[in-house]
């Protein structure tokens, strides 16, 4: 091998880097690198790259291959049983048995179903409750209006002021007409309010019944889907 290293001979530098070259060549390259910044930098960068390569390690794997005597005649390689091997495998790498996978899937399914039903039931209960509160408020308001109208209808008429003689008859006629119209209007409003109260009461009854039916259905489904002890 030549003792004269030519500057820029990368193959020779690689040999020097891995210490896989003849002693004389190594000596020549070493002498050159001391005086050549370019080759020294090249060599340093290659060395740094090698250092980085050292960080790459393959993941641990369960190996333990073994030719079992029983299968030697047929040239079959078999895995060594795990309990006789010295290496262990992380639990997350071990596959779940089939029964465990099925059980996990069932648990997830039932949990999802139960959560869905619970949410649906809660939503229905909440909505029904809100509806009932609204109905109660409206019924209370209507009942108050009903009482006020009833008291107005039964209150004694205010005595009229004494009008001038010439306009008395005309004014009395107009008053009678207004009173008549007001009584008709009040009667109509009272009747309307009473009907409204009845409608709202019917609605509340219907809502209560429906809510109760939904609650019973939810309970039934829950009991059906709960795992048996």
Residues near other proteins, by CB under 8 A: 10-15, 18, 20, 37, 40-41, 44-46, 48-50, 52-67, 69, 72, 75-77, 90, 92-93
Terminal C-alpha separation, the chain: 84
Q: Tell the smallest beta-carbon distance from residue 101 to other proteins (Å).
A: 14
Give whichever of 13 and 190 is closer to other proteins, judged by the CB atom: 13
Question: What is the separation of C-alpha 202 from the centre of its chain, rounded to a whole number of angstroms?
Answer: 39
Give whichever of 58 and 159 is closer to other proteins, judged by the CB atom: 58
Distance CA 148, CA 154 (A): 10
Give whichever of 24 and 173 is closer to other proteins, judged by the CB atom: 24
Q: Tell the smallest beta-carbon distance from residue 35 to other proteins (Å).
A: 13
Q: Tell the smallest beta-carbon distance from residue 29 to other proteins (Å).
A: 13
DSSP secondary structure letter of residue 226? S
Contacting residues for 68 by C-beta, under 8 A, at least 6 apart: 76, 78
Dihedral sign for Cα atoms in the order 161, 162, 164, 170 = positive
Give whichever of 24 and 170 is closer to other proteins, judged by the CB atom: 24
Q: Tell the smallest beta-carbon distance from residue 111 to other proteins (Å).
A: 21
Distance CA 16, CA 50 (A): 13
**Can you state the percent helix, strand and coil of the chain, rounding each to 5?**
75, 5, 25
Give whichever of 93 and 178 is closer to other proteins, judged by the CB atom: 93
DSSP secondary structure letter of residue 92? G
């Amino acid at each position: 091998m030549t003792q004269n290293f030519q500057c820029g001979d990368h193959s020779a530098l690689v040999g020097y880097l891995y210490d896989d070259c003849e002693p004389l060549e190594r000596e020549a390259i070493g002498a050159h690198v001391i005086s050549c910044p370019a080759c020294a930098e090249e060599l340093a960068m290659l060395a740094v790259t090698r250092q980085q390569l050292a960080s790459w390690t393959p993941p641990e794997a369960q190996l333990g291959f073994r030719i079992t005597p029983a299968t030697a005649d047929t040239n079959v390689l078999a895995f060594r049983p795990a309990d006789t091997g010295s290496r262990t495998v992380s639990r997350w790498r071990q596959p779940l048995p089939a029964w465990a996978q099925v059980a996990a899937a069932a648990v997830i399914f039932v949990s999802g179903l139960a959560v869905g039903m619970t949410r649906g039931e809660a939503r229905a209960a909440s909505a029904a409750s809100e509806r009932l509160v609204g109905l109660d408020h409206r019924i209370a308001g209507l009942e108050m209006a009903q009482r006020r109208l009833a008291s107005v209808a039964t209150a004694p008429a205010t005595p009229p002021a004494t009008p001038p003689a010439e306009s008395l008859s005309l004014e009395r006629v107009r008053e009678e007409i207004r009173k008549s119209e007001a009584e008709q209007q009040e009667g109509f409003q009272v009747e309307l309010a009473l009907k409204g109260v009845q409608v709202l009461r019917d609605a509340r009854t219907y809502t209560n019944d429906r809510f109760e039916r939904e609650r019973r259905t939810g309970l039934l489904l829950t009991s059906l889907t709960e795992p048996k002890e």
